[in-house]
Structures are given as structure tokens and as C-alpha cells.
Amino acid sequence: QVHLVESGGGVVQPGESLRLSCAASGFSFSSYAMHWVRQAPGKGLEWVAVISYDGSNKFYADSVKGRFTIFRDSSRLLLQMYSLRREDTAVYYCATAHSTIAKRPGGGGTMMAPGFWGQGTLVTVSS
Amino acid sequence: QSALTQPRSVSGSPGHSVTISCTGTSNDVGRYNYVSWYQQLPGKAPKLMIYDVSERPSGVPDRFSGSKSGNTASLTISGLQAEDEADYYCCSYVGSYPLYVFGTGTRVTVL
């Protein structure tokens, strides 16, 4: 079955960098666009970024554009975060698109919302 | 792009129905039939309950249903059960930056 395991979270100071990883298994990873979504403590969900099934299309939330980079390899989804701010403190979830690229090829699958989610990794930005 | 508007909380008795609204604009909910709904139990990751306005993923009970009218989408839970007590979020495709926007979230309480 679908298995997503996030790692790489931790405590960093403002201005520092961090790389999150999401290990995927149990499904055809290369057939899905993938998302990052975050949730600040006690707050709601915020969409962060999406990458197409083949890595050719990437889209970001305004709040992270220019500071975060989403990318993928054969079995992992990654999020490189630079110039971290206190407001980036959150649990970061990786998620598949809700269906494979075959259902909706437009944008390389980026037009499909998050489907299956991992358990998340906590990033704390604090001095 | 502002978050989609949901009621802060709704409640209902076991066996009854509750409906959660999700109000956006003509640029998001009103433009695309790409609204999804997520259930988040305390301390857990969100779970997809509805996608593309009214489609249910495999394994989601048919007590959960989705619909849309104009700029407002809705999630209805019929035959409410204690296990349905959770936070629920809607999400809409926007088509431009940012590509997706979530709702403010609704706490469902089973009385």
C-alpha cells in the first residue's frame, strides 16, 4: 500500500536552511504528482508546493516562492528550504496527488489535489 | 489569495446529518470542479474524503458526500457517528499562483 515517510525536520535558527525528504514506497511513485502541505501549531492547512510526475513542472505558494525548492528523484520527494523564518514553523506533510497522471495529464498531474498523506515532520524556526 | 471560508464549528447528534460549507470566489471554487475535502483526527495526518467536488476515494463511507453551487462547495455527513468527530478542511484548485488554497477548517462535534 502507499507509504510516505517524511524526515529532516528539526530546530533551526532564522535565516538557516533545511532539507526535508519524503520516502515513497508501495506505489508507482513516477505516476503521481506530489505535494508539500504544512500546518503551523494549532492552525489550519497551508499548501506549499507541487511537482509534476516527471519533475518538469513546479508551483509554489507565494509565502515560500524564491526560498523553497521542490524536487524529486526516483523514490523521494524533497523540499529544500532556504532563509527560514519564524512563520515557517510547522509540521510539513508530503502527499501524493489524488490520482495517477493517467486521470488528468494536464500540467503533469499538478491539477490534482493532495490525496494520500504522510505523517509529517516538524520544522521549528527559533533563535 | 485568501483562504476559503468555512464555519468554525458544526455539531449534530448521532444518526443525524451535518453540512459544512466552503465559500470561495469565481476564481477558485466557482471556476473549477476541483474541490477536495479532508478529515483530520486529533494528532493525525489529513485524510482525503472527497475530490473533484463529489468523488469518493475507495474506502471512504458513502455517508460522506460533496456538492457545489456557484462559489460554495459543501460536504455532507449523513448518519453521523462518533468517529466522525474531527476537523474538516476544503481545498480548491486556483489555476494560478498559488495553485491551491485551503479552507479555514471546521470542527465537527458529535453530541
Per-residue pLDDT of A5-19, as tens digits, reads 999 999 999 999 999
**B88 Cβ contact list (under 8 Å, min separation 6):** B6, B20, B37, B38, B39, B40, B49, B75, B105, B106, B108
Reported confidence tier of residue B1, pLDDT bands at 50, 70, 90: confident
Per-residue model confidence (pLDDT) at position B10: 98
Q: Is residue B49 pLDDT above 80, yes or no? A: yes
Q: What is the mean pLDDT of residues B103-108?
A: 98
pLDDT for res A22? 98
A62-98 pLDDT, tens digit each: 999 999 999 999 999 999 999 999 999 999 999 999 9
Residue of B nearest to A62 (CA): B98
| Closest-CA distance of chain B to residue A63, Å | 9
Q: What is the pLDDT of residues B8-24, one digit of tens each?
A: 999 999 999 999 999 99
Chain B contact for A62, CB < 8 A? yes
- Tell me how close the Cα of B98 comes to any Cα of chain A, in angstroms: 5
Give mean pLDDT, residues B46-54.
98
Residue with cell 490525496: A115
Outline where DSSP puts E strands in chain B. Answer: 9-12, 18-23, 35-40, 47-50, 64-69, 72-77, 86-93, 100-102, 106-110
CB contact under 8 A, B103 and A114: no
| pLDDT tier for residue B2 given thresholds of 50, 70 and 90 | confident
Whether residue A56 is predicted with pLDDT greater than 90 in this model: the reply is yes
Report yes or no: B51 at the A interface, CB cutoff 8 Å.
Answer: yes
CA angle (A96 as vertex; A92, A98 as ends), nearest 5: 125
- In the prediction, which pLDDT does A118 show? 98
| Residue A123 CA from chain centroid, whole number | 13
Burial of B30 (0-12, 13-18, 19+ CB in 10 A): middle
Residue A91 contacts residue A121 (beta carbons within 8 Å): yes
